[in-house]
Amino acid sequence: MEPSIYRFIIKYSLRQQIALTLLSFASFVPYYYYLLMPKLIVNQGISHKDVEFPVSILGISLGPEAFLILLCVGFLALVIVQQGFKYSINVYQGISGERMLRRLRYELYARVLRFPLPTFRKMSQGEIIPMIVAETESLGGFIAESFALPLFQGGMFLVSLGFLFAQNWGIALAALALYPAQLYLIPKMQRKVNQLGKERVRSARRLADRIGESIQGVQEIHANHAAKRFLAEFSSRLGDIYWIRYEIYQRKFMIKFLNNFLQQAGPFTFYLIGGYLAIKNQLDVGTVVAAVAAHKEMGAPLKELLNHYQQREDARIKYEQVVSQFAPPGIREADYQLAEPEQVPALDGDISVAGVTYVDDNDTVVLDGLSFTLPGRSRTAVLGSGPGREELMLLLARLLEPNKGRISVGGIDLAPLPEAVTGTRIGFVSATPYVFNASLERNLVFGLRHRPMAETHYEGEVAKRWQMRLRESAASGNSIDDPDTDWTDYTQAGVSDAESLTAEALRVLRLVGLYEDVYQFGLRGSIDPKANPDLAEAILRARAALREKLMQPGIAQLVEGWDRSRYNRNATFAENLLFGLPVGDGFDMERLAEHPYVLQVLEKVGLTQRFLEAGRQVAATMVELFADLPPDHEFFQQFSFISSDDLPEYQQLLQRVPRERLNEASPADRMRLMSLPFKLIPARHRLFQMEPELEEKLIEAREVFARDLPPELAKDIA
């Protein structure tokens, strides 16, 4: 990567920077006349100085009022032109900056994929991720304005200064009087802020690394009662960041204070000197007004320039820090991963290891002058204690590079081969393989997806969006491969298409003893019927066929099916009431007794009192049965209405709320009692009598629940 951020900018965005520079220069002419207009409006449009009416412009005679309107309209037009230039420059800057930020992140990620494996022992994901995502964020904004902003704002400053000299050289010199102090003090104070910012970045990285380490080692923290020490260490690291930021804030806002003070001292000078000269008739009022306006316009560019200097120093430090971290010793070239040979040679024959020496990142000699030959198509076990076995396997898989020696297969040296050869011809499974956060199918065929094997043809608006994405990817130096096309190399698996690949995958699952597990995993899974309409239809047909089979004699009593008009005695009260599955956050099956709508439904059908009575009956039975049982008794698991910890509370509740005073129970006690019946399964829990009238009421509640379900809750249940 380029060692400095400016070399990176020039290498990849020189054309955009030239275009921004030309736009900046083009804006200076209308900007000068924009500064001149207030003077013309005051002196000629209002005071009528050096103007004889009627004024003839383009053959049209204008009186005083029309002439003033024309000058004001001209001023407004110049404002629109000037703001149009700013808009165009800012938008183009934003696009250029985002492209460069995208390019930088892509390059950093590509380099991570080429890191030698030992690098990851020194750098954790807690360090790498923030560097790619968070620390580069501000670089995009700086890259966008690295050349255009100083040229544009510096040009505006010089135009304003030139305008002041054109009006009165004495006022111009007065305007310049305070700028040397500002230009000397601010950068000097900013350097210290930049140093503190650099230390803040380092501290934030160490903090992220500590968080990642705590997450990975949380089991050890619990097992060894180390949470208190970890919290103390974390507090100390947070304190380091706090005091760094505290000093940054003090210095940063002192810079802002000086900036604003020196900026406001300018108008004081103009009003004092310009006003005095105007009283002495040595200067007209329009010039004073224009000078004040021009000085005000000078302040914004100067402020932007000083801010740009601060951002430049911050960006320079961040870029150099990031680049230094992404250039570890032994990093492979891009062609190692991306080169695609016309023909991938077969690695068949004897495996030869000649004089291989490997030294790890701690300068420990792990393998020293190792030599052997393994016959092709043979099975070999590497035995022994101590280091060396894992490193040997990684060397043979070309995941580590030997310091000395040569490894070849069938006479082909592995060292110069790109990943396109070794990654497709060598299979490797470590002792701790990683399963990606993707579908089982994607993980299973992971080793078959190396490059796009087909080209997807898009149409209409989709094709337009894809072409736009393609152009932007190319402009940012990113990959232009389509991630949504088919990447599966069927020939590598010895099959011809997706259907035969599925059959081969099932054969492999049977071979390794996973077929039944995957089958059960599939039965427990869920699908999107819109995305898989054929599968959804097949499952519905299977449901109908299964129901027919379950109605046969001898089987019917084994499964109780769902019927909207019947109460299911093998399901809980809650499942019978909802007659569906919660799919959002609106309903919690464990806390239905607290849900306002559920309580409203029970009240509508007259079940509130019955639920209170049932809840008290269940609580009394549980207390009577389990009061003398040890906390770990299996009955607490079988009847999971009340835990052993909550049993004493229910004992006190039953004493507070006798059966005849249920209506006087507090809201908290009512909620506790009503939560118990929702968990009852009549066919399993023989804790109270389930009369037919209660079943009918619950079926009625089911209908009311579905009929009156508010639209905002309808999305939370299927």
CA dihedral 140, 146, 148, 149 (to 10 degrees): 90
Tokens of 407: 């490894």
Cα–Cα dist 452/482, whole Å: 7
pLDDT for 289 beyond 80: no
* Residue 391: both structure tokens together: 């490193």
Burial 467-489 (b: 16+ CB within 10 A, else e): eeeeeebebbbbeeebeeeebbb
Q: Which pLDDT score, from 0 to 100, does residue 605 have?
A: 92
- Residues paired with 406 in a beta bridge: 354
- Report in angstroms the alpha-carbon separations of 120 from 13, 116, 319, 391, 401: 32, 8, 21, 15, 15
- Listed as own residue / partner, the contacts of 217-226 with beta carbons closer than 8 Å and 24 or more positions apart are none
Angle at 304 between CA 301 and CA 310, to 5 degrees: 145
Looking at residue 637, its pLDDT comes to 66
* Number of residues that make up the chain: 718
Residue 373 pLDDT grade (very low, low, confident, very high; cuts 50, 70, 90): very high
- Residue 368's pLDDT band, with cuts at 50, 70 and 90, is very high
Q: What is the pLDDT of residue 31?
A: 83
With beta carbons less than 8 A apart as the criterion, state whether 568 and 560 touch.
Answer: yes
| Token pair 């297969």: residue | 409
- DSSP letters, 212-264, are HHHHHTHHHHHHTT-HHHHHHHHHHHHHHHHHHHHHHHHHHHHHHHHHHHHHH
Percent of the chain at pLDDT exceeding 90:
18
Q: For 417-474, give the DSSP string.
A: --HHHHHHH-----SSPPPPSS-HHHHHTGGGBSS--S-----HHHHHHHHHHHHHHH
What mean pLDDT is predicted for residues 207-235? 84
- What pLDDT score was predicted for residue 500? 94
Q: Which of 137, 184, 153, 92 lies closest to 308 in space, CA to CA? A: 153
Contact call for residues 103 and 476 (beta carbons, < 8 A): yes
Distance (Å, whole) CA 699 – CA 591? 20
Q: What's the rounded mean pLDDT across residues 697-706?
A: 93
- Can you give the pLDDT at residue 147? 83
**Mean pLDDT, rounded, for 418-440:** 88
**How confident is residue 359, by pLDDT bands cut at 50, 70 and 90?**
very high
Residue 269 has pLDDT above 80, yes or no: no
Helix (H, G, I), strand (E, B) or coil at 46: helix
Sign of the CA dihedral 327, 330, 335, 340? negative
Q: What pLDDT digit, counting tens, does each position of 489-542 carry?
A: 999 889 999 999 999 999 999 999 999 999 998 888 888 899 889 999 999 999
Query: What average pLDDT does the chain have?
Result: 84
In this structure, the dihedral spanned by the alpha carbons of residues 431, 436, 439 and 444, taken in order and rounded to 10 degrees, is -40
pLDDT of amino acid 290: 66
> Taking residues 417-440, what's their average pLDDT?
88
- Please, is 386 exposed, middle or buried when counting C-beta atoms within 10 Å of its C-beta (0-12, 13-18, 19+)? exposed
Cα separation, 680 vs 686, whole angstroms:
9
Cα 216–chain centre separation:
21
Q: What's the pLDDT band for 553 if we cut at 50, 70, 90?
A: confident
CB of 116 closer than 8 Å to CB of 400 = yes
- Whether the pLDDT of residue 659 is over 70: the answer is yes
Tokens of 633: 């008794």
**Mean pLDDT to the nearest integer, 14-21:** 88
pLDDT, position 178:
63
pLDDT exceeds cutoff 70 at 155: yes
Containing 210, the helix (H) or strand (E) segment is helix 179-216
- pLDDT score of 287: 67
**Integer Cα distance of 587 and 121 in angstroms:** 45
Where is mean pLDDT largest: 56-60, 125-129, 366-370? 366-370
Q: Rounded to 5 degrees, what are φ and ψ at 147? A: -105, -40
Q: Which residues contact 715 (CB under 8 A, 6 or more apart)?
A: 583, 584, 586
Whose tokens are 């208190």? That residue is: 228
Phi, psi (5° rounding) for residue 62? Answer: -120, 135
Distance (Å, whole) CA 418 – CA 339: 7
Mean pLDDT, rounded, for 279-307:
70
The pLDDT assigned to 55 comes to: 79
Asked which of 14-18, 165-169, 270-274 is least confident by mean pLDDT, the reply is: 270-274
Mean pLDDT score, 131-144: 81
pLDDT at position 37 is 83
pLDDT at 705 over 90: yes
Q: Would you give the end-to-end CA distance of the chain in angstroms?
A: 53
Question: What pLDDT, on a 0 to 100 scale, did the predictor assign at position 702?
Answer: 94
pLDDT tier at 154, thresholds 50, 70, 90: confident
Tally of CB atoms within 10 A around 262: 18
The pLDDT score that the predictor gives to residue 355 is: 94
Locate 209 and state its tokens: 């690394």
Mean pLDDT for the stretch of residues 552-566: 86
- Tokens 């919690």 -> residue: 588
Alpha carbon of residue 440 to chain centroid: 24
**For helices 148-167 and 285-325, what crossing angle results, to 10°?**
160
Amino acid 507: pLDDT: 94
Per-residue pLDDT tens over the stretch 157-200: 788 778 777 776 766 676 666 667 666 777 777 777 777 877 88
Phi, psi of 21 (to 5 degrees): -65, -45
Residues 6+ apart with CB under 8 A from 595: 587, 588
Is residue 46 predicted with pLDDT exceeding 90? no
Give the pLDDT score at 662: 83
Distance between CA 102 and CA 90 in Å, rounded?
A: 18
Residue with the larger pLDDT of the pair 645 and 490 = 490
Q: Is the alpha carbon torsion for 131, 134, 138, 141 positive or negative? A: positive
The pLDDT, as a whole number, for residue 253 is: 80
Q: What is the pLDDT at residue 537? A: 95
User: Using omega within 30 degrees of 0 as the cis cutoff, is the peptide bond preceding 533 cis?
Assistant: no
Could you tell me which residue, 586 or 408, shows the higher pLDDT? 408
87-121: pLDDT as tens digits: 898 888 888 888 888 999 899 999 888 888 888 87
Q: Output the pTM of the full model.
A: 0.67
In this prediction, residues 422-426 reach a mean pLDDT of 89
Q: What are the CA-CA distances from residue 590 to residues 434, 476, 679 (Å)? A: 35, 51, 8
